[in-house]
A and B are shown apart, each in its own frame.
Chain A
Amino acid sequence: MADSKYITLVSRDGFEFVVLREAALVSPTIKGMLRSQFIEARTGRCCFPEIDGVILEKVVDYFHYWYRNRDKEEVPDMEIPVELCLELLMAANYLNLEPATGLRDWT
């Protein structure tokens, strides 16, 4: 199970999403969950009791969007529904999906 290509993400309201493991690893939080000796690493099942199904669905969308475009230039932006924007932002923060440190950041 631990070596499966897919992992399962579970939302607060019980929705389950089966995601390509490599795509989900973009999130350092999930990466951490799967690397260590936690139960998630053994079962390949990550529960997010703070994230609603609607939001997690978008997050999963993003994972695959990111995975598809990981080496491309000129990637078209993913549409973010305005009404989910804030909650999605919180989820992104929780999952550590932060912008890469820019060039100006020399320290």
Chain B
Amino acid sequence: MSRQNRPPRRIVGPQSALTDFLASHNISAHQIRLDADARRRAAQNEQDEANDQTNDQAAASTPAPFPAVSASPARATRSRRAEGTGAPDEAARSKEQKAIDKIKASKKFQKRKRGLGDSEDEDDLVDALLKRSAPLPGQMENCEVCGTRFTVTPYTRNGPNGGLLCNKCGKELEKDDAAAKKKKQAKRAGGGAVGMRRQLQSNILDGTYTLGAKSLMTLCIETLAKNIDLAEDLGDLPPSIMDMVARKLSKHRLLDSRTLSLLLNPTAEEVHVYDGAKLSSDDFIRIFRTVPGLKRLKVRNGIHFKDDVLDYLMSRHIELEEFYVHGANLLSNSKWKEFLQQKGRSLRSLRVYWTDKHFGDEVLSLLESACPSLTRLKVCHNQEVTGTGVVTIGNLNCLRHLSLDLRNEVHPDVYVGVLSKIGPSLETLSLTRVRTGDNSILDAIHAHCRSLVKLRITDSEEMTDAGFVRLFQDWANPGLVFLDLQKCRQLDSTHPRANADGIGLCSDGFRALMAHSGKTLKFLNVHGCRHIQAAAFEEAFGPEKVYDAMRKLEISFCEEVTDFVAGSIFRSCPNLRELNVFGCMKVKDVRVPRGKILVGVPNAKGMVIEGDDEDNE
């Protein structure tokens, strides 16, 4: 086994070129190695004596202590032990025996021993542990990875092939280990049956639920978002993918100064910042600096989208066509006006969400002169705009899409005035939370609107069933695609059931709307229209009625909806994806066709997805 201690037997395997060369010069590589081993052994014995105590401690406590510098010394000692020759080794041997005893007594050894059977394995284990404690702190060694010479310390780490690593490489390895460990832990947290079920329900409410596997693109984008801190550059991704990445990052609240730079492509025309909460004014300015050809800008949670950002924008040759800003309350009234006057000419779409004070009537009245080509205007959750501002919207001749969600009460006559002017060309009309809106608005829509595709009127407490019937009956407008009439209902806490005046969307209005737009509607929301009777639903979703276009139906808090109605809806709307029935207490046990979603069933299970193969085509 060990050639070192026996007389050479002249049996040689393949030799290296160096050995051959040395032999020709009468230098024996074997002799050199023997000498070196002897020297090393002597040094080790010395060290042993000096460091006996510390060494044993280290061997017991450090999890991954020092492996053999080369495998041979340990093996050599082992065989020496077996042969029992060599007087100078006597002292070393007793020392070694001591070390072995110590190892055998140690907890670690006992623990490992349990996994092993016979005594030969035990011997091997002793050997392995002994071998690990062989090279000692203070020695010099070459690093396994980078090859530099360094001093072995108790903290020196093992390399992947059993050698030792210098301090620098050791740290690197540790980093990798830590990352791997972290990854493993994260995986465990997300798994399990409960985690899966939660994820499924989350997907349903996000609207991303599908049967089968996720698309490869989704998987990649999710992986990318998870590891965005590793990315230095996303390369030349197409804008559509960039947008998906941006959405995913924002969803995980990962968009900050650093990740924003990844998303800014100098040649892009659009930048969508879905969550700008962590961005500073400088970051917003950087958008204009890096993307000189910017045309469409969307900023949500743009808290630091301030005056100086608009100042910078005005100083550049950027002509925005679409401007969408959410939560930018630090923009002053005067800056808004200045911006619109300077840059409004190119604006086609202006959407302003969640502004408290500084986007008001004055700004709206400027639009007519400053933004002659404006086709889309959306003012959402605004506390400043009043009827005075709304009136001026009627002068925007190009307007196609109008959405208003104002906190101030505006008299219905104001809306009627606007509709009479721009109604014929409107494709989208969204009036959210119009508590005082009454039938005159509905009549104006009926009289003027001819190209509406999307209509939303919510929270009206004045409109009546008769008004809705008048709107939909013989309306010259083609069928709507999107209709949202949620919470248009009578509100009287003292007489919650009685509705003598027929306030809100009731049975007749529902019949009329389904007759007018049922074939084209993709999305219908009659949430909280409590006075639609079961008969009206049963009639609208009767056995002979088919609504191919319908994708999502929201009928929550319509009290009359029963299992039968829900079943009829699934039958009449073959392409329906989702049916919402929160608060429909008569829905108890509906058979849901496979792949469709029923949300909000009032039982302990909360939300239910069931499938049966009979309904599966």
Binding site for B on A (CB under 8 A): 59, 62, 65-66, 69-78, 80, 82, 85-86, 88-90, 92-93, 95, 97-100, 102-104, 106-107
Of the residues B196, B208, B241, contact of A74 by C-beta under 8 Å: B196
Of the residues B212, B220, B234, contact of A70 by C-beta under 8 Å: B212
Known: A85-B227, A98-B217. A106 touches B577 (CB 8 A): no
What are 12 pairs between A and B in contact, CB < 8 Å? A70-B213, A71-B212, A73-B211, A77-B214, A85-B220, A85-B227, A92-B217, A99-B214, A99-B215, A102-B206, A106-B522, A106-B551
Interface centre among A65, A77, A85, A95 (most CB of B within 10 A): A85
Taking the complex as formed, is B221 at the interface, i.e. its CB lies under 8 A from any CB of chain A? Answer: yes
Nearest chain A CB to B181 CB, angstrom units = 16
Please indicate the chain B residues that have their CB under 8 angstroms from the CB of A73 in the complex.
200, 211, 609, 611
Please indicate the chain B residues that have their CB under 8 angstroms from the CB of A93 in the complex.
217, 237-238, 241
Is the Cβ of B222 less than 8 Å from the Cβ of A77?
Answer: yes
Is the Cβ of A69 less than 8 Å from the Cβ of B522?
Answer: no
Nearest chain A CB to B13 CB, angstrom units = 39
Known: A103-B577, A106-B523, A107-B481. A72 touches B219 (CB 8 A): no
Nearest chain B CB to A102 CB, angstrom units = 5
Taking the complex as formed, is B559 at the interface, i.e. its CB lies under 8 A from any CB of chain A? Answer: no
Is the Cβ of A80 less than 8 Å from the Cβ of B481?
Answer: no
Query: In the complex, what distance in Å separates the CA atom of A99 from the CA atom of B578?
Result: 18
Is the Cβ of B213 less than 8 Å from the Cβ of A88?
Answer: no
Taking the complex as formed, is B210 at the interface, i.e. its CB lies under 8 A from any CB of chain A? Answer: yes
Of the residues A62, A69, A89, A103, contact of B241 by C-beta under 8 Å: A89
Taking the complex as formed, is B224 at the interface, i.e. its CB lies under 8 A from any CB of chain A? Answer: yes
Please indicate the chain B residues that have their CB under 8 angstroms from the CB of A85 in the complex.
220, 223-224, 227
Nearest chain B CB to A92 CB, angstrom units = 4
Please indicate the chain A residues that have their CB under 8 angstroms from the CB of B209 in the complex.
103
Query: In the complex, what distance in Å separates the CA atom of A76 from the CA atom of B218?
Result: 13
The SS class assigned to the A binding surface is loop
Total interface residues on B, using CB and 8 Å? 42
Is the Cβ of B216 less than 8 Å from the Cβ of A97?
Answer: yes
Q: Given A82-B223, A86-B234, list of 12 further CB < 8 A pairs?
A: A62-B216, A70-B211, A77-B219, A77-B222, A86-B220, A86-B237, A88-B216, A88-B220, A92-B217, A99-B217, A106-B552, A107-B522
Is the Cβ of B220 less than 8 Å from the Cβ of A80?
Answer: yes
CB-CB contacts below 8 Å: B550-605 with A: 551-552, 577-578
Please indicate the chain A residues that have their CB under 8 angstroms from the CB of B241 in the complex.
89, 93
Query: In the complex, what distance in Å separates the CA atom of A77 from the CA atom of B213?
Result: 8
Of the residues A69, A92, A100, contact of B216 by C-beta under 8 Å: A92
Nearest chain A CB to B195 CB, angstrom units = 10
Is the Cβ of B212 less than 8 Å from the Cβ of A104?
Answer: no
Is the Cβ of A92 less than 8 Å from the Cβ of B220?
Answer: yes
Is the Cβ of B223 less than 8 Å from the Cβ of A80?
Answer: yes
CB-CB contacts below 8 Å: B599-617 with A: 609, 611
Interface centre among A69, A80, A104 (most CB of B within 10 A): A80
Is the Cβ of B200 less than 8 Å from the Cβ of A74?
Answer: yes
Nearest chain A CB to B43 CB, angstrom units = 44
Please indicate the chain A residues that have their CB under 8 angstroms from the CB of B482 in the complex.
106-107
Query: In the complex, what distance in Å separates the CA atom of A97 from the CA atom of B611?
Result: 26
Query: In the complex, what distance in Å separates the CA atom of A69 from the CA atom of B220?
Result: 18
Please indicate the chain A residues that have their CB under 8 angstroms from the CB of B220 in the complex.
80, 85-86, 88-89, 92
Query: In the complex, what distance in Å separates the CA atom of A55 from the CA atom of B578?
Result: 36
Is the Cβ of A72 less than 8 Å from the Cβ of B207?
Answer: no
Nearest chain A CB to B409 CB, angstrom units = 30
Query: In the complex, what distance in Å separates the CA atom of A74 from the CA atom of B481?
Result: 32
Nearest chain B CB to A106 CB, angstrom units = 4
Is the Cβ of B230 less than 8 Å from the Cβ of A82?
Answer: yes
Taking the complex as formed, is B88 at the interface, i.e. its CB lies under 8 A from any CB of chain A? Answer: no
Nearest chain B CB to A84 CB, angstrom units = 9
Interface centre among A65, A86, A97, A103 (most CB of B within 10 A): A103
